[in-house]
Chains A and B, each alone.
Chain A
Amino acid sequence: MVFGFDPLWTSTAILLITYALIMTERINRAIVALIGAGVMIVSGVITQKQAIAGVDFNTLALLIGMMLLVAVARRSGMFQYLAVWAAKAGRGEPWTVLVLLTLVTAVASAFLDNVTAVLLIAPVTLVLTEQLKVPPYPFLFTEIFASNIGGTATLIGDPPNILIGSAAGLTFNDFVWHLTPVILVVLAAQLVVNHLVWGRRMRADPGARAAVMALEPSATITDHRLLKQALAVFGVVVLGFVTAHQTGLDAGTIALCGAALLLLLDTRGLPIEAQVARINRSFAEVDWITIFFFVGLFAIVAGVQRAGLLDWFAKEIIGLTGGNLAVTAVALIWASALLSAAIDNIPFVATMIPVIQNMAPSFGGPEALLPLWWSLSLGACLGGNGTLIGASANLTVAGIAERAGVPFRFMSFLWYAFPMMLMSIVISTAYVWLRYL
């Protein structure tokens, strides 16, 4: 008993209030999560030691490491190069340019945080569409989808995958092997629909196309030395992820070591004061709100886990699905998608991970949970495409677009996005069903 209250009810109330406050967006989510974690400890549901034990430092290290890598690498101009290259390679044909920009965004999102990817690609897209004299909305809309779809393909592409991979012991290769095939199909299907909706009507006049063909991608590279260093370190980090099973290294170690190496190369030969200034600049680009949000969230989930709520929830789900793995997987993918379209998918996934882990005995051990992990990942990541508030990348693009004079309204986005999101979930359900159930 905690202050005369049952810890189960206390922790459930803290979780629900935290969720509600996150959804209202009146208070920053990092503050909400940290206060929730604090209340969990102060109310005696868990001790500080148990809260710290609940924090997944591998996830934090992976997030911080990748954010630092991008913070340094972006200064070379490499991401802007890719976007301008796509426009030129598309020979100024709007639909071809859109497809190439979509692919660039998807690939970038598979290796970078989705918000970072769209922050790098969307502004250049606006410049390119202005040159082409075509409406930017279809391009930005498709890039939002591409960022959320591409991010689903790898361990490091989207925070829910980082959480799932770390908790379930799934490697970079596991994600590529199990999720990339369906992601390619989802991406292709989405492009087909976008072509039917917008692509077939896209035209650019010869003058605008000539202006795009006159673009010089190589001029975007501002620091060739840094570009080479960043590409080399990215290569080493990806190799580290691919060989993680053999080396026994966790993803967090690989990402942080890569970040430290790139910071070392970037500051080599500089006086110590200049090193401090440059490193401070890179550290300032880490999204500390997300990092501290995770810290608070991990402690809250540790509280409800310890109080027995998640074990109870897992048993209820097993009861509802009759202990049938196939029904559980399908229910999980659809529930994750619909909820993630409305609420932040990170707290949802953080809560569902221990719920799924608690189902292991009913399904014959942790190995049998694989379809559930992929269902959770596909539902939570792709569900974010359903509404304008479904994922951070959506709001980031909408914010940039609005400021550039391109209206991005909730209902008009929903009108096209929600059916497309449902299509991606139908494809994912078929994939999970055919491959695993």
Chain B
Amino acid sequence: MTVGSIMTRDPETVRQTDTVGRAVELLLGRHYILLPVVDATGRYRGVFDIWDLLGMLLPKAATLDRLVPNLRFMPDDLPGLHTKLEHFSGQALQAHARSDLPTLAPDTPIVEALLLFYRQRSTLPVVETATGQVVGVLSYWDALGAIAGRA
């Protein structure tokens, strides 16, 4: 069994020139974990995921290697967080997409996908190696469902 046989095909993608606000709409509106980011030719350029969104709302230093043990000393400030989200909404995704998440290929063995899920704790994009086009996404739910015979 390979990734190509169980992945969700033709997933929703966003362009590098799309705004953070558009990505937020998709993530929150459709409960996606992750959005593949592509360039004008449709080539895969990275991802923007729910963790990136959470990181944007946190003080930057608090996202670095647990150097700040906790933020319990900060006041409860929902309007402040909303303002911060608004501030990022108009910015292009290009500045916020990241390319360090490993990708899967349609012919990747499922056991390799399980290892990457275990290490990354994330849904992963499936990219055609030759063309660089996003052809699907695979979540750990999809993989475990297939293994359990529920797919």
Q: Which residues of A contact B (CB under 8 A)?
A: 77, 80, 84, 119, 122-127, 130-131, 211, 214-220, 222, 400, 403-405
CB-CB nearest in chain A for B66: A123
Cα A416 to Cα B14 in complex, Å, equals 45
| Cβ–Cβ contact A127 & B68, under 8 A | yes
CB-CB nearest in chain A for B67: A123
Main secondary structure of the interface of A (DSSP, over half): helix
Q: B59 at interface (Cβ–Cβ under 8 A)?
A: yes
A74 to chain B, nearest CB (A): 8
Q: Decide: A400 near B64, CB < 8 A? Known: A211-B75, A211-B77, A215-B73.
A: yes
Cα A306 to Cα B68 in complex, Å, equals 48
Cα A378 to Cα B116 in complex, Å, equals 52
CB-CB nearest in chain B for A401: B61
| Cβ–Cβ contact A127 & B61, under 8 A | yes
CB-CB nearest in chain B for A403: B64
Q: Decide: A219 near B73, CB < 8 A? Known: A80-B68, A123-B68, A400-B67.
A: yes
| Cβ–Cβ contact A217 & B73, under 8 A | yes
A216 to chain B, nearest CB (A): 5
Cα A222 to Cα B60 in complex, Å, equals 22
Residues on the B chain within 8 Å of A119, using CB: 67
| Cβ–Cβ contact B59 & A127, under 8 A | yes
| Cβ–Cβ contact B73 & A130, under 8 A | no
Residues on the A chain within 8 Å of B149, using CB: none
| Cβ–Cβ contact A215 & B75, under 8 A | yes
Residues on the B chain within 8 Å of A214, using CB: 75, 77
Residues on the B chain within 8 Å of A125, using CB: 61
| Cβ–Cβ contact B73 & A84, under 8 A | yes
CB-CB nearest in chain A for B62: A127
Q: Decide: A127 near B70, CB < 8 A? Known: A400-B61, A404-B61, A404-B64.
A: no
| Cβ–Cβ contact B60 & A405, under 8 A | yes
**A-B pairs, 3 with minimum CB distance:** A126-B61, A123-B67, A214-B75
CB-CB nearest in chain B for A80: B69
CB-CB nearest in chain A for B58: A127
CB-CB nearest in chain A for B59: A127
Q: B72 at interface (Cβ–Cβ under 8 A)?
A: yes
Interface residues of B in 31-88 (CB under 8 A from A): 59-62, 64, 67-75, 77, 80
Residues on the A chain within 8 Å of B61, using CB: 123-127, 130, 400, 404
Main secondary structure of the interface of B (DSSP, over half): loop
| Cβ–Cβ contact B71 & A77, under 8 A | no
CB-CB nearest in chain B for A130: B59
Residues on the B chain within 8 Å of A80, using CB: 68-70, 73
Residues on the B chain within 8 Å of A123, using CB: 61-62, 64, 67-68
Cα A122 to Cα B61 in complex, Å, equals 9
| Cβ–Cβ contact B69 & A222, under 8 A | yes
Cα A220 to Cα B74 in complex, Å, equals 9
| Cβ–Cβ contact A219 & B72, under 8 A | yes
Cα A125 to Cα B62 in complex, Å, equals 11
Partner of A126, one of B60, B70, B71, B77: B60
| Cβ–Cβ contact A222 & B70, under 8 A | yes
Q: Decide: A220 near B77, CB < 8 A? Known: A123-B61, A400-B64, A404-B60.
A: no
B71 to chain A, nearest CB (A): 7
Cα A57 to Cα B146 in complex, Å, equals 60
Cα A220 to Cα B68 in complex, Å, equals 10
| Cβ–Cβ contact A211 & B80, under 8 A | yes
CB-CB nearest in chain B for A81: B73
Residues on the B chain within 8 Å of A126, using CB: 59-61
Residues on the A chain within 8 Å of B67, using CB: 119, 122-123, 400
A189 to chain B, nearest CB (A): 29
Residues on the A chain within 8 Å of B70, using CB: 77, 80, 220, 222
A56 to chain B, nearest CB (A): 32
Q: Decide: A216 near B60, CB < 8 A? Known: A80-B68, A123-B67, A400-B67.
A: no
| Cβ–Cβ contact A216 & B68, under 8 A | no
CB-CB nearest in chain B for A87: B73
Cα A16 to Cα B146 in complex, Å, equals 63
Cα A343 to Cα B77 in complex, Å, equals 47
A134 to chain B, nearest CB (A): 14
